[in-house]
Amino acid sequence: MAVRDYIRVRFFPHLWCPGCGHGTVMGSMIRAIERLGIHKNDIVVVSGIGCSSRICGYLDFHTLHTVHGRALAFATGVKLSRPELTVIAPMGDGDAFAIGGNHLIHAARRNIDITAIIMNNSIYGMTGGQYSPTTGYGDLATTAPYGNIDRSFDLVNLAVGAGATFVARTTTYHVTSMIKTMEKAITHKGFSVVEVLSQCPTYYGRRNKFATPVDMLNFYKTNTTTIGSKDKEKNPNLIERGIFVQEERPEYCEEYAKVIERASQGG
């Protein structure tokens, strides 16, 4: 099938700004799903609120666009009641790590088979550019006019710490590896977190000395490196990308199936 076959063309044009990275993420998601050959009827996409969450409406799967921060809680309900479905939760950094942080760490702890794709643009875009948990120290935002003094989260470390069994980071510049990473994340049995650095030229870039979206993509190109590379040794400030964790651990729905088995045998 062509990419177009996975899109609800009726609902286009999309609402993202010119130069936004989220369309690239959506394209990569579609290509990953296409390569995996999963039937469209078997995929449920659950999102929260924010620019990234609008991916939901444009995709021709079962789509659930919920309330701010709670995508994984709704997704847990879907997955546990129909474990045979593939459940993907596209989220933003504010959605996943601020208002929804609790659900993320507990989904990771349970190791429920959901793929969280977190578009990290370091800003609240939908509301007009307020600082988020991933906005860098000193960055400017509409609510940080004198510079941000919050320390930013390292999403990968957080996900690893919470016990996610698949954790990866990629960027909208590295599209080929993003697609491959998503394929692996969706295939992985357990809770997967894929952080995608995705540019917001309108609200982050303009305020933080990125004149164009291309400048931001170039930043992803020059300021990231593969995990454990020599470049990282030379320059510790480089952001690592790649698969940080990929391990097998009992999956929640499979464990619950055992509970059902025990309960129906009378305990």
Partner 1 sequence: MEGALYSGLEFFAGYPITPSTEIAELLSYRLPARGGRFIQMEDELSSMCAIVGASLTGKKVMTATSGPGFSLKQEAIGFAVMTETPCVIVDIQRGGPSTGLPTSGSQGDVMQARWGTHGEHAIIALTASNNQDAFAMTIEAFNLSETFRTPVILLLDEVVAHTRERLIMPKPGEIPVVERLHTSVQEGTDYHPYLPREDGRLPMSDFGGVHRYNVTGLAHDMWGFPTTNPAIVHDLMRHLVDKIEGHTNEITRVKEFFVDDAECLLISYGSAARTALHVVENRRDRGEKLGLLELQTLWPFPADVVKKRCASFDCVVVVEMNMGQILHEVRSVVNDPSKVFLANKIDGTFIAPNDILDILRIIQGKGA
Interface with partner 1 (CB under 8 A): 8, 10-11, 40-42, 44, 46, 56-57, 60-67, 70, 72-78, 80-82, 84-85, 102-103, 106, 256, 259-260, 262-264, 266
Provide, rounded to whole angstroms, the least separation between the CB of residue 104 and partner 1.
10
Of 62 and 232, nearer to partner 1 (C-beta) is 62
Of 46 and 197, nearer to partner 1 (C-beta) is 46
How many beta carbons lie within 10 A of that of residue 206, not counting itself?
14
Phi and psi, residue 171, nearest 5°: -140, 170
Of 127 and 256, nearer to partner 1 (C-beta) is 256
Of 117 and 178, nearer to partner 1 (C-beta) is 117
Provide, rounded to whole angstroms, the least separation between the CB of residue 88 and partner 1.
13
The CA distances from residue 191 to 82, 175, 188, 197, 250, in Å, are 16, 22, 8, 20, 10
Provide, rounded to whole angstroms, the least separation between the CB of residue 219 and partner 1.
32
d(CA 97, CA 132): 9
The β-bridge relationship of strands 166-171 and 239-246 is antiparallel
Provide, rounded to whole angstroms, the least separation between the CB of residue 222 and partner 1.
37
Q: Which element (helix H / strand E) includes 194? A: strand 192-197
Of 102 and 222, nearer to partner 1 (C-beta) is 102
Provide, rounded to whole angstroms, the least separation between the CB of residue 221 and partner 1.
34
The two tokens of residue 14 are 């999309």
d(CA 2, CA 183): 17
Residues 126 and 119: beta-carbon distance below 8 Å = no
